[in-house]
Every structure is written in C-alpha cells, then in structure tokens.
Amino acid sequence: MKIVADTNILVSAALWGYGQPRRILELAIEGKLKIGVSRALYDEFCSVLTYHKFKTRMRKERATVRDVKAHVSPFLTFIRRTSAPPSACNNVSDNEVLACAIDFKAFRHLSFFRAFEQRIIDDGLTGHLIENAPADRTRHKHELEPPVGEATHQVEIRKWRVLYWIEETKKATISKILVISESRHVASRRGASAELVR
C-alpha cells in the first residue's frame, strides 16, 4: 500500500510512540507500506522539527533534529513530482499533498471508509456524476484549473473532496475517480480509485 504523509503525520510519527501516525511509520519500517513525500513536504517536515514546542519533546527523548531525520528518512519514498500543485485547497501544503498522492498513485479502495461514509459518498457520486452530467458546473462541482495529474474536475460531497476526469465514449460518459479524501487534509487520509458510468 502507498500513502502520502503530510507534515503533521510525519512529526507525530517521529516524536510520539503511539497512535495512528506512529503505526503508519511502523508499517513502513516493516515494509508493509510506502510513505511518499515530495522534496517540498520533506523540507517542511525538517523545518517544523526546529519549532520550539518540538525541541522540548526531543530533549525529553534525548534526540536531536538530525536524529529524528535519520530515524524517519530511510522509510520515506521521495516522489518525483510531475503534477502542478492544484488550487483545490486553501492551504498550499494540502495542495502539495494532493499532487503527491496523484503522482505517487497513493489511492485506497472505497471499502476503507466506514459503512455510513461509503453510503454518503456513494449517494453523492450517484447524484453528481450519474444522475447529472459530470461536466456540469454547480455549487459543489467544477473543473480544476489547472488539472491535477489526470484529474480535470472536482466535486465536494459533505466533508469529502472527489477528484475525477471524464471520458466520453459512443455509448456512455465515464467518470474516472482518482482521489476521494477529507477536505481538511486532502490525500493524507482515505482515498479511492474507481469508475462511474452515466
């Protein structure tokens, strides 16, 4: 499995020995998943480690910034970014995470969402992309400018953001879903890849 980790995940994984971020790092150490980061995300991680609030934690662990980087870096996969960071999020760092997820192909199947989340997402996708034209612009659905990797459109379904592209065939319009993620922390959370035919 592949994931893209934002700075919050990396710092939590490196400095605290418990919780989901730490479990992600442990799975990477065990070789069960790959954590992808771009140079920009890694540089942000290194910069954040120098914040005063984290220096206190490192002193408690008798570690330096160099020690933390040396512990985490071997288990990161550096992504050669080819997609331009989108303007899908208000936060520049979240846009970087999203572009990395697309370039790294760090997607998970919809079954990783909880059952009630699956129903909400499924109903939203049906309404926006099957019952209505996927290219139509609405309050919650629009074209991405510029495109993000292969993704050309975005739809918001409650707290989730869905990036997709549209393929027109003689028989149908197919919406290919590239990423489904929570709007606050795009792509560092659950994601999906699928096709919907209208």
181, 137: one domain? yes
Given phi > 0 = left and psi -120 to 50 = alpha, else beta, which region is 39?
Answer: alpha
Among 24, 56, 79, identify where a domain stops. 79
Does pLDDT of 182 surpass 80?
Answer: no
Q: Using 50, 70 and 90 to split pLDDT, how confident is the model at 112?
A: low
57, 115: one domain? no
Does residue 181 fall inside a structural domain? yes
Q: How far is CA 87 from the centre of its chain?
A: 14
Does residue 38 fall inside a structural domain? yes
58, 128: one domain? no
Does pLDDT of 86 surpass 90?
Answer: no
73, 152: one domain? no
Among 63, 79, 95, identify where a domain stops. 79
170, 122: one domain? yes
Does residue 91 fall inside a structural domain? no
Percent of the chain scored above 90 by pLDDT? 18
Q: Using 50, 70 and 90 to split pLDDT, how confident is the model at 42?
A: very high
122, 167: one domain? yes
Q: Return the higher-pLDDT residue of 147 and 182.
A: 147
- Sign of the C-alpha dihedral, residues 149, 31, 188, 115? positive
Q: pLDDT tens across 122-181, in order?
A: 788 888 888 888 899 999 999 988 887 778 899 999 888 888 888 887 777 877 777 777
> Residue 88's pLDDT is what?
53
Does pLDDT of 184 surpass 80?
Answer: no
Q: How far is CA 173 from the centre of its chain?
A: 26
Expressed in angstroms, the distance from the first to the final Cα of the chain is 30
Does residue 89 fall inside a structural domain? no
> Residue 127's pLDDT is what?
87
> Residue 107's pLDDT is what?
56
Average pLDDT over residues 47-66: 90
Does residue 99 fall inside a structural domain? no
> Residue 188's pLDDT is what?
33
Does residue 97 fall inside a structural domain? no
69, 133: one domain? no
Among 58, 79, 100, identify where a domain stops. 79
Per the listing, tokens 């975005």 go with: 154
Is there a contact between 85 and 98 (Cβ–Cβ < 8 Å)?
Answer: yes
181, 123: one domain? yes
Segments forming the whole domain that contains residue 40:
2-79
72, 12: one domain? yes
119, 61: one domain? no
120, 52: one domain? no
Write the DSSP string, 50-116: TSHHHHHHHHHHT--HHHHHHHHGGGEEE----SPPPSSSSSHHHHHHHHHHHHHT----GGGS-HH
> Residue 111's pLDDT is what?
44
**Pairwise CA distance, residues 13 & 16, whole Å:** 6
Does residue 188 fall inside a structural domain? yes
Average pLDDT over residues 68-77: 92
For 49, counting Cβ atoms within 10 Å of its Cβ (0-12 exposed, 13-18 middle, 19+ buried), the class is buried
Per the listing, tokens 């065939």 go with: 169
Number of domains in the chain: 2
193, 116: one domain? yes
Nearest alpha carbon to residue 16 among 56, 74, 44, 76: 56
Number of neighbouring beta carbons within 10 Å of residue 78: 13
Does residue 115 fall inside a structural domain? yes
Average pLDDT over residues 5-21: 83
- Residue 28: which H helix or E strand, with range? helix 19-29
> Residue 73's pLDDT is what?
92
